[in-house]
């Protein structure tokens, strides 16, 4: 036993180290839209032990000296993973980050880019300050791990609601648009007028059930109507494959019918549970994670309708 002891100790140490070696995160699908805009598409999933919260789409815009990265993932680790994906495109460093809204899956990778200038809506800054650690808790609960390196880092510059501002960042012309709170009260969309590309955050999600957790459904419908009037050749949505105007129209129709259905039910004096049973959800059932979100989405819309009719 005495002679065996050093080996056992070594084995214990090795397995300790072993436990910390994690399998790689799911691959990022890099899609080139033109010579200076790329989509980094993440898995169309909810957070799991396997994906460790990697589920978001990001966008890469090449500037003169650096890279503008839109959305940074759910953790420091995912931010690093995205940094590697950027390296497959360019040697330029990430100098600017734009956050499309406060939800953890989009912003908690910010601290993997120390020194980068972070831009978001004003509301995104203030909400992230309050709920950043709550989102880390959600990540830890859903993936069964801790994330000691992940810390919420908020934007230095925030833009007020209603802003539709042309800015020049590192030689790139961008329109920053802060619509009336839609998917969340913290939304910011990024439009590249020369390229006719929209980076929408979760105001647009493709093939995925949207969450109305923090939404204003009526405003959201208005924002989708506005998007419908824009010159757009490609959309990088918050989740799922690239979208076109035809997909926006589908999402708009789905949301309008849904809101109208909930409102009609409310006016008949039905509860949200009863309304859910009489809604035509055929189009919604085609979306991934329908069962996980439908109850919440009917309930949130019901509360919104109730408040509007009070
Ligand atoms: Zn999201």
pLDDT for 144-156, tens place per residue?
999 999 999 999 9
Residue 137 lies in a domain: yes
Q: State in Å: Cα 209 to ligand 1 middle.
A: 11
188-243: pLDDT as tens digits: 999 999 999 999 999 999 999 999 999 999 999 999 999 999 999 999 999 999 99
Query: What percent of the chain clears pLDDT 90, i.e. is strictly above it?
Result: 91
- Torsion on CA atoms 43, 44, 46, 48, rounded to nearest 10: -30
What's the token pair of residue 66? 């650096």
Q: State in Å: Cα 41 to ligand 1 middle.
A: 12
82-100: pLDDT as tens digits: 999 999 999 999 999 999 9
Domain count, the chain: 1
Q: State in Å: Cα 21 to ligand 1 middle.
A: 27
What whole-number distance in Å separates Cα of residue 304 and Cα of residue 298?
A: 10
What's the token pair of residue 89? 């495109």
CB 31 within 8 Å of CB 38? yes
Q: State in Å: Cα 63 to ligand 1 middle.
A: 25
Q: Check residue 269 and give left, alpha or beta (phi > 0: left; psi -120 to 50: alpha).
A: left
CA angle 6, 9, 12 (to 5 degrees): 155
Segment (H or E) for 67: strand 67-70
Residue 104 lies in a domain: yes
Residue 4 lies in a domain: no
- What are the b/e assignments for 203-224, b being 16+ CB within 10 Å? bbbbebbbbbebbbbbbbbebb
Q: State in Å: Cα 1 to ligand 1 middle.
A: 55
**Whole-number CA gyration radius for the chain:** 21
pLDDT the model gives residue 21: 81
Lowest mean pLDDT among 19-28, 63-72, 109-118, 169-178: 19-28
Q: State in Å: Cα 166 to ligand 1 middle.
A: 25
The mean of the pLDDT values for the chain is 94
Q: State in Å: Cα 132 to ligand 1 middle.
A: 14
Residue 8 lies in a domain: no
Does residue 14 have a pLDDT over 70?
Answer: no
State the DSSP string of 170-226.
TTEEEEEE--SSSSSTT--EEEETTTTEEEEEEEEESSBPPP-TT--HHHHHHHHHH
Q: State in Å: Cα 239 to ligand 1 middle.
A: 6
Q: State in Å: Cα 101 to ligand 1 middle.
A: 8
Look up the CATH number of the domain holding residue 119: 3.60.15.10
Q: State in Å: Cα 106 to ligand 1 middle.
A: 6
Burial of residue 267, with CB atoms counted within 10 A of its CB: 0-12 exposed, 13-18 middle, 19 or more buried: exposed
Which residue range forms the structural domain that includes residue 128? 22-309
CB 103 within 8 Å of CB 131? no
Residue 213 lies in a domain: yes
Q: State in Å: Cα 220 to ligand 1 middle.
A: 15
Does residue 159 have a pLDDT over 90?
Answer: yes
What's the token pair of residue 28? 């990022």
Residues 6+ apart with CB under 8 A from 264: none
Q: State in Å: Cα 204 to ligand 1 middle.
A: 10
Reduced to 3 states (helix: H, G, I; strand: E, B; else coil), residue 309 is helix
Q: State in Å: Cα 267 to ligand 1 middle.
A: 32
238-252: pLDDT as tens digits: 999 999 999 999 999
Residue 105 lies in a domain: yes
Q: State in Å: Cα 153 to ligand 1 middle.
A: 17
Q: State in Å: Cα 202 to ligand 1 middle.
A: 6
What's the token pair of residue 199? 């980076």
Residue 17 lies in a domain: no
């Amino acid at each position: 036993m005495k002679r065996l002891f050093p080996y056992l100790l070594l084995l214990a140490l090795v397995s300790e180290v072993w436990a910390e070696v994690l399998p790689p995160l799911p691959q990022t699908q890099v899609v080139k839209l033109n010579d200076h805009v790329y989509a980094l598409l993440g898995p169309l999933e909810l957070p799991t032990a396997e994906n460790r919260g990697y589920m978001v789409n990001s966008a890469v815009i090449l500037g003169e000296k650096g890279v503008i990265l839109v959305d940074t993932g759910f953790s420091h680790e995912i931010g690093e993973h995205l940094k590697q994906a950027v390296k497959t495109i360019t040697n330029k460093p990430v100098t600017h980050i734009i956050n499309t809204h406060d939800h953890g899956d989009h912003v908690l990778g910010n601290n993997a880019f120390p020194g980068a200038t972070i831009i978001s809506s004003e509301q995104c800054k203030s909400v992230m300050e309050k709920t950043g650690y709550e989102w880390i808790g959600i990540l830890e609960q859903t993936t069964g791990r801790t994330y000691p390196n992940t810390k919420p880092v908020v934007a230095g510059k925030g833009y007020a609601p209603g802003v539709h501002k042309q800015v020049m960042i590192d030689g790139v012309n961008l329109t920053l648009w802060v619509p009336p709170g839609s998917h969340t009260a913290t939304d910011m969309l990024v439009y590249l007028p020369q390229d006719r590309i929209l980076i929408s955050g979760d105001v647009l999600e493709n093939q995925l059930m949207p969450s109305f957790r923090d939404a204003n459904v009526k405003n959201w419908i208005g924002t989708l109507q506005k998007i419908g009037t824009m010159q757009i050749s490609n959309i990088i949505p918050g989740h799922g494959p690239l979208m076109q105007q035809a997909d926006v129209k589908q999402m708009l129709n789905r949301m309008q019918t849904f809101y109208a259905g909930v409102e009609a039910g409310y006016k008949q004096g039905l509860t949200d549970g009863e309304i859910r049973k009489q809604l035509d959800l055929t189009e919604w059932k085609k979306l991934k994670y329908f069962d996980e979100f439908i109850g919440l989405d009917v309930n949130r819309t019901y509360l919104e309708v109730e408040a509007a009719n009070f």
